Chains A and B, each alone.
Chain A
Amino acid sequence: MLWEVLVAVALSWARIAAALAISVFAAVIVGIYSGISRRVDRIVIPILDVLQSVPILGFFPLAVFVLASAVPVLGYEIASIFLIFTCTFWNLAFAVYEGARSIPQSMIEVAELSKLSLKDRFGKIYVPAVFPKIVDQLPASLSNAFYFLAASEVIALGEAEVRVAGIGTLILRYLGMGNYTGIAIGLVATALSIIAAYLLVLMPLISYSDRYRFDIAQPPAVQRTPMIMGLYTRIKSIQSPLRMEQRRIAGLTHRVFPIQLVNIKYVGSDVKRLIFIVFIVVLLVFAGPRIYANIDDVWAAVASVAAAGVRLGILSIGEALAYSFSRVLICLALMLSISLPIAYIISEKPDVRNTLLPILQIIASLPSPLIFPIISGFFEGGIYSRELGAILLMSLGSVWYVFYSTLSGFNKVHGEYRELARLYRLSGFSKFRYIYLPFATPSIVTGLITATGGAWNTVIVAERLGEGGRIFEVQTPGLGKLMSVLAEMADTPGLVFTVIVMTVFVILVNRLLWRKLYDYSIRALRIHEQL
């Protein structure tokens, strides 16, 4: 049994590592291009925003029909990696996008003036600038990958269900057999492998990326950094000694790259436009005729999805939606009340940070849906305890988004403002109320937006969890419960309909509630250029 577990853990890790590698690569390309080009920004960011709201179940049709059926042997493996990718990619892409956007305009102008080639722009400016952002997001991506581990290893749609070998499916099998020793061994092995990954890969990466960030008021140390890193620290400190830096960088690039005769900027933008046009043309030429040829099938599919909506009943879907939405809201309140104090303490006490943060990150990565069935006995008492269990499980899936963005918000409080609090001996409460909380509010709201998306995704797992007759579900309606039942009954049109409902609802709430709240907080706090 031990051997079986170890092989399964290794297989799962291989898939997760592949998905993470693809995610980072894709995030760097997509995030940086969206961050530096207005046109790409306008097209890509709304698309990403919609796609990240689609629950993992929503990607099943794509994974099954396109990937699994198109590639004969490895198809299911690829489909599984793709599903993991849908759990790890979005936050990375948005983080890279934000990082690319925060590169000072002057820096980009320097690159243009010194005629840096595209390759060197990426290598010397963009990638170093976004590197810490990626490292910051890796734990979140990893925990998300593990949260949906079981879901991404069972490729099921309709009657066809294929389980790729991995620790997620293995634990599900043990769960079905009632083999609790097996589950325990599996979970411990998973936890140990996550700890090993932290110690051997993530921690060195985090400390490596620390060289890129520094604070002027409290220099952590004077470091001798490789040239690329040095360039990045210069990007960060560019405000006042700008001209000197410009000369230095211009000099540096001139030494390395002799003056190029062609003005890259114009050639570059023409090339970009050309690529874009070619992309659209290829899409039309290849996809167009296919859609046209199968137009009847397309219409039939649309009709069956619409019929499913009518069959399920708009009212009962609405009711399920309302229940799930209130769970999401309670979940957010819970996550916020846990994250605020802990993040505050960590940002205040560096020694606490160094010990507590790695522990939290490891806990964050444990696959809670797989642990939950073991402790679910505690929550089977009645309606309320089942609700509590579901909300707890949802919170475990997305509390990290709130926590990390709250922490990064608190860390944004510049050294001089911290000194202010000490100079005037502000009480802990006033310091929090007048300095830390306002500073962190935009980040906290951003975290809540991401967490809402995450909480909606976890609804599917949290409202109904089970395997082989052992089912733990809420007794009240819920959209996630409905989706999970529909998936089990192989009701594809119904599933597609509910996925669309959920996606549309999440996007609407984002636009009508969260974005408004974000804009309002920026306005109310009067945060302008001076921060």
Chain B
Amino acid sequence: MSNSEILLELRNVTHGYSLRAGSTLKVIENLNIQVRYGEFLGIVGPSGCGKSTILRIMAGLIKPLSGTVIFRGEVLNGTTPRISLMHQTPTLLPWLTVKENIYLALMARKDLTEREKQLKVSELLELVELSGYESAYPYELSGGMRQRVALARALVTDPDLLLLDEPFSNLDPLTSLSLIRELEGMWFDTTLPPISVVMVSHNIEEVVMLADRVIVLGGRPARILAEVPIELSRPRNKKSEEFYRLVDEIFSLIS
């Protein structure tokens, strides 16, 4: 595979936390992950295997102890507006309206005029079907709506890469299903950002539903147990035999 096809790459990344005694507890060791252009990559693994740490390294929030992150052919040092991260919880500021919360992501941008920023915010509000809720406060919204505001905030910067940290795990099954459908719809619309998505989850069904390729993590420190391509046609049917077989396969890899 040539380098031009790779959007982001982790090369020999090792990370861990220092213990009291001075030794280091390694969470991930010598990890190599490539995120390709136009790909929806799923990462699954048991709780506490370092999935969220990997995502934060990809976002430039955490500098790994060793190894490099290559984004668009260059070494990534710190955060960039081209990479967005959506947290597990909506992480909205309660004292800001829906509109202000989304605007927060553009606040520091100097390459956009005020008018352009406002326009982008309205566009995104429409995209996540929250037009009319501009001046609502987060506490007035349902859990699903809050997570949609968070999605709008993550997308308003026109990122090349969207990182999702268990985006549906705090929602009820019905709400999460409709949000998955929405995300899938957006993914099909090629005029919209992002180019690629990385979603981390412990819910295998969710991942099989959305991803083109699934990386299965396990062990301590975490390593790649398997890589499973998902070649089902979209929209995917949860009840189909193939779907069930893939979920089962990944499940048996983890447990």
Contact = CB atoms under 8 A, between A and B. Distances in A.
Contacts of A525: 94-95
A424 B157 contact: yes
A293 interface: no
Contact of A219 (B17, B20, B78, B91): B17
B160 to A, nearest CB: 14
Contacts of A425: 79, 81, 108
Nearest to A531: B94
A176 interface: no
B93 A430 contact: no
Contacts of A494: none
B89 A435 contact: no
A524 B95 contact: yes
Nearest to B140: A526
A427 to B, nearest CB: 6
Contact of B139 (A220, A416, A426, A526): A526
Q: At the interface, is chain B mostly helix, strand, loop or mixed? A: loop
A105 interface: no
A420 B19 contact: no
A240 B108 CA distance: 34
B211 interface: no
A221 interface: yes
B18 interface: yes
Given A434-B96, A530-B92, A530-B138, 15 more contacts: A220-B17, A221-B17, A221-B19, A221-B25, A222-B25, A240-B170, A417-B91, A420-B87, A423-B59, A423-B84, A425-B108, A524-B95, A526-B94, A526-B137, A529-B139
Interface in B90-123: 90-96, 104-108
In the complex, which range does the number of interface residues on chain A fall in?
A: 20 to 34
Interface of A: 219-223, 240, 416-417, 419-420, 422-427, 430, 434-435, 438, 524-531
A531 B139 CA distance: 10
B91 A420 contact: yes
A426 B78 CA distance: 13
Contacts of A434: 93, 96, 104, 107
B61 interface: yes
A419 B91 CA distance: 10
A420 B94 contact: no
Contacts of B105: 423-424
Nearest to B105: A424
A422 B17 contact: no
B72 interface: no
B85 interface: yes
B69 to A, nearest CB: 15
B108 A426 contact: yes
A419 B56 contact: yes
Contacts of B91: 416-417, 420
Contacts of B138: 526, 530
Nearest to B150: A420
A525 B97 CA distance: 11
A423 B78 CA distance: 9
A438 B108 contact: no
Contact of A419 (B18, B81, B87): B87
B18 A423 contact: no
Contacts of B25: 221-222
Contacts of B96: 434
Given A416-B91, A423-B84, A526-B137, A223 B108 contact: no
Interface residues of B, number: 32
A154 to B, nearest CB: 46
B104 A221 contact: no
A430 B17 contact: no
A350 to B, nearest CB: 13
Nearest to B52: A217
Centre residue among B91, B92, B157 by max chain A CB count within 10 A: B91
Interface string B58-75: 010100000000000000
Contacts of B139: 526, 528-530
A423 B20 contact: no
12 contacts: A221-B17, A240-B170, A416-B89, A417-B93, A423-B61, A424-B107, A424-B108, A426-B108, A434-B96, A438-B95, A527-B94, A527-B95
A420 B108 contact: no
Centre residue among A223, A423, A430, A526 by max chain B CB count within 10 A: A423
B17 A419 contact: no
Contacts of B90: 530
Contacts of A221: 17-20, 25
A435 B93 contact: yes
B152 to A, nearest CB: 13
Contacts of B95: 438, 524-527
B94 A530 contact: yes
Nearest to B56: A419
A221 B137 CA distance: 36
List the 6 closest pairs (A to B, CB-CB), nearest first: A528-B139, A525-B95, A424-B105, A416-B91, A526-B94, A438-B95
A423 B85 contact: yes
A422 B79 contact: yes
A529 B94 CA distance: 10
Nearest to B96: A434
B116 to A, nearest CB: 16
A515 B222 CA distance: 51
Nearest to A417: B91
Contacts of A222: 17, 19, 25
Interface in B130-166: 137-139, 157
A152 B78 CA distance: 55
Contacts of A430: 107-108
Contacts of A223: 19-20
Given A417-B91, A528-B94, A531-B94, A426 B19 contact: no
Interface string B233-250: 000000000000000000
A341 B139 CA distance: 30
Interface string B174-197: 000000000000000000000000
A435 B87 CA distance: 16
Centre residue among B94, B139, B157 by max chain A CB count within 10 A: B94
Nearest to B139: A528
B20 A419 contact: no
Contacts of B93: 417, 434-435, 438
A221 B24 CA distance: 9
Contacts of A424: 81, 104-108, 157
A505 to B, nearest CB: 33
Contacts of B85: 419, 423
A219 B85 CA distance: 19
Nearest to B89: A416
Contacts of A426: 104, 107-108
A243 to B, nearest CB: 14
Nearest to A419: B61
Centre residue among A222, A419, A424, A434 by max chain B CB count within 10 A: A424
Contact of A420 (B81, B104, B170): B104
